Amino acid sequence: MQLRRLAGLDVSAVGLGGNNFGGRMDLEATRRVVHKALDLGITFFDTADAYGNRGGSEDYLGRVLGALGDRRKDIVLATKFGLPMDETGKLKGASRSYIIRAVEASLKRLRTDWIDLYQLHRPDPLTPIEETLRALDDLVRQGKVRRIGCSNLDAMQVIAAHETATRYGLATFVSCQDEYSLLAREIEQDLIPTMRARGLSLLPYFPLAGGFLTGKYRRGQPPPKGTRLAESPGHAEQFINNRNWAIVEGLEQFAIGRGHTMIELAFSWLLASPVVASVIAGASTPEQVVQNVGAAGWSMSSADLAEIDHITAK
């Protein structure tokens, strides 16, 4: 497994996302997937307090990773805060009072003394970014958090956060976690140039476009049973359209012609970008972890990348 640097942290090029833990997956299934990830050299584990029916993912990860003992220091554990954690919608956001409450709850569920990367899950329009950053800076100074990051912020919001942190000498966001794949390249216009200019790393989620880039789907046929797009009509509506069919069919011919799979194409294309630190990939079985890890080994040429750009511009 290739390791990459994320603001002084060594993270595996392929990370494990915990969105399924505590929801679609029980504790034993989670344990099998996490153990396989560890066996294959994955060091980066990403979750959020809201995953797994509000707390389940952190709880399951904590039970599994908490048994590592001294090996915990070799794991880069990332989680997020900000999404609603109760039915009333009161437990959410990025205010100081909520952040202090949220981090203690995450530390308890994760069964750890520190979080390696603590991320704002989405913008909070009701809270000034200075208040959010001052609270996060305190957590860094206390040793409860090592680095801070953000997710789903646009370029102007990232710039505002960086300038605020610099002005007041506060800890700065070191990463952005955003949707990015061969079918979702919008962040290339503004966000990625902003990240490069300020030295931030990208943590792409949905690298397989909800599974649409796996090669399992065929135009005119219903999604295979058990696949994400079969079980999630919202994701199916988001990704399945004529534009994406044309791109996927072109990409499939490109990959097959070079002796590779669609998953190898999707992962290796992301990792060809210097701004990408780790590709966050979920898995519901150990076999999927093996597949994800094995998909990161294609070293693409400049000609390959140019042809991919041509195909995805359709």
Residue 309 domain-assigned (yes or no): no
Question: CATH number for the domain including 24?
Answer: 3.20.20.100
pTM of the model: 0.92
pLDDT of residue 28: 96
pLDDT of residue 118: 98
Residue 102 domain-assigned (yes or no): yes
> pLDDT per residue over 47-68, tens digit each?
999 999 999 999 999 999 988 8
By the 8 A CB rule, do 202 and 178 touch? Answer: yes
By the 8 A CB rule, do 42 and 1 touch? Answer: yes
State the pLDDT confidence band at 95, using cuts at 50, 70 and 90: very high
What is the mean predicted confidence (pLDDT) over 141-145? 98
Residue 182 domain-assigned (yes or no): yes
By the 8 A CB rule, do 194 and 158 touch? Answer: yes
pLDDT of residue 241: 81
pLDDT of residue 225: 73
Rounded to an integer, what distance in angstroms lies between the CA atom of residue 81 and that of residue 151?
Answer: 10
Residue 197 domain-assigned (yes or no): yes
State the pLDDT confidence band at 240, using cuts at 50, 70 and 90: confident
Residue 56 domain-assigned (yes or no): yes
pLDDT tops 90 at residue 216: no
State the pLDDT confidence band at 234, using cuts at 50, 70 and 90: low
What is the mean predicted confidence (pLDDT) over 70-91? 91
Which amino acid is residue 120, in one-letter code? L
Rounded to an integer, what distance in angstroms lies between the CA atom of residue 188 and that of residue 62?
Answer: 35
Residue 57 domain-assigned (yes or no): yes
pLDDT of residue 236: 66
What does the H/E/C string look like for 279-314? EEEECCCHHHHHHHHHCCCCCCCHHHHHHHHHHHCC
> pLDDT per residue over 256-271, tens digit each?
999 999 999 999 999 9
> Tokens standing for 129?
């970014």
Rounded to an integer, what distance in angstroms lies between the CA atom of residue 63 and that of residue 55?
Answer: 12
Nearest-CA neighbor of 52 among 132, 101, 110? Answer: 110
Range of the domain at 292: 3-212+266-299
pLDDT tops 80 at residue 239: no
pLDDT tops 90 at residue 290: yes
Residue 240 domain-assigned (yes or no): no
What is the mean predicted confidence (pLDDT) over 91-102? 96
Which amino acid is residue 167, in one-letter code? R
pLDDT of residue 314: 63
Number of domains composing the chain: 1
Long-range contacts: 235-239, Cβ < 8 Å, 24+? 235/210, 235/211, 236/210, 238/210, 239/183, 239/209, 239/210, 239/212
Residue 243 domain-assigned (yes or no): no
Rounded to an integer, what distance in angstroms lies between the CA atom of residue 261 and that of residue 254?
Answer: 9
> pLDDT per residue over 151-179, tens digit each?
999 999 999 999 999 999 999 999 999 99
Nearest-CA neighbor of 293 among 27, 25, 36? Answer: 36
Q: Which residues are catalytic?
A: 51
**SS3 (DSSP) at 97:** helix
